[in-house]
Amino acid sequence: MASSTEITLKNKLGLHARAAAKLVNLAGKYHSHITISTPQLCADAKSILGVLTLAAGKDTLLRIEADGPDHGEAIDSIVELIEGKFGEE
């Protein structure tokens, strides 16, 4: 009931406040427990304060893990958001 993936942040500003808000909103739609980690830190993807403290800039390698009934969809949609550069550029 778990899956994970790795993806590199490609948008210019990295995980800044607005991008983090989008990520957290999206993660909040799933029942699974979702974490997002940089090589140094790990955060609850549903906590904006957690995500912000990752201070992940452009080109950071992120690892996303989801555990729960909808883990597959959760990972897919988060990957889509990050690949789409948070709809910013």
Residue 17 makes contact with other proteins by CB under 8 A:
yes
Q: Is 16 a catalytic residue?
A: yes
Q: Which of 16, 31, 33, 71 is catalytic?
A: 16
* Contact letters for other proteins, residues 54-83 (x by CB under 8 A): -x----------------------------
Q: Which residue from 79, 38, 32, 36 is spatially nearest to 56, judged by alpha carbons?
A: 38
- In the block, which residue shows the tokens 């597959």? 72
Residue 41 makes contact with other proteins by CB under 8 A:
no
Between 6 and 17, CB nearer to other proteins: 17
First-residue to last-residue Cα distance in the chain: 34
Q: Which stretch binds other proteins (CB under 8 A): 3-11, 41-49, 64-72, 77-85?
A: 41-49
Q: Which residues of 47-84 are buried (b: 16+ CB within 10 A; e: fewer)?
A: ebebbbebebeeebebebbbeeebbeebbeebeebbee
* Active site members: 16
